[in-house]
Amino acid sequence: AIERTLSIIKPDATRRNLTGKINAKFEENGLMIAATKRLHLTRAQAEAFYAVHSARPFFNDLVEFMISGPVVAQVLVGEGAILKNRDIMGATNPANAAPGTIRAEFAESIEANSVHGSDSAEAAAQEISFFFAEIEIVA
Ligand code: CMP
């Protein structure tokens, strides 16, 4: 089925001017960028977005990292987009990411791993509505 997923190009990638190269990976692999927004998250926004991880030992460092520079939030649309985007990104830890994936090519560490992608249909719907109004999503 055609799905939507929420992607974030993280501060390590915007800092290195990799937005275009990452967008090319999405498009080359059959995902359409149906919405895109560059923003600098506040601490409150980053904490709210990652609330599901608030009990994890890496939470504070994750929030600090996510507010360390601009991010690009995007809605990606395509056949099986949620799983497809996870394949395009590669494993969370770049040391385990398959060749050709975004994280294998660009990520610096498990924290500075260049991209976020929704991990389920429920998360995708919730994360998309965190950043975008329906009128901003054009597939
Ligand atoms: P992301 O998909 O954005 O979801 C949570 C993020 O926490 C994850 O990618 C990583 O960038 C970050 N993170 C930092 N340390 C860890 C860790 N030990 N395990 C999992 N995620 C981590």
pLDDT 10s digits, 11-63: 999 999 999 999 999 999 999 999 999 999 999 999 999 999 999 999 999 99
Region 91-96: what's the mean pLDDT?
98
Q: How confident is the model at residue 87 (pLDDT cuts 50, 70, 90)?
A: very high
Supply the residue whose CA is at minimum distance from atom 2 of ligand 1: 116
Supply the residue whose CA is at minimum distance from atom 19 of ligand 1: 110
Q: Which of 116, 117, 124, 127 is catalytic?
A: 116
| ipTM value for the complex | 0.94
Helix axes 81-89, 19-28, angle to 10 degrees: 130
Parallel, antiparallel or unpaired: strands 71-79 and 115-117: unpaired
56 lines ligand 1 (CB under 6 A): no
* CA 72 and chain centroid, separation: 8
Residue 139: its pLDDT value, please? 95
Region 2-9: what's the mean pLDDT?
99
Q: How confident is the model at residue 70 (pLDDT cuts 50, 70, 90)?
A: very high
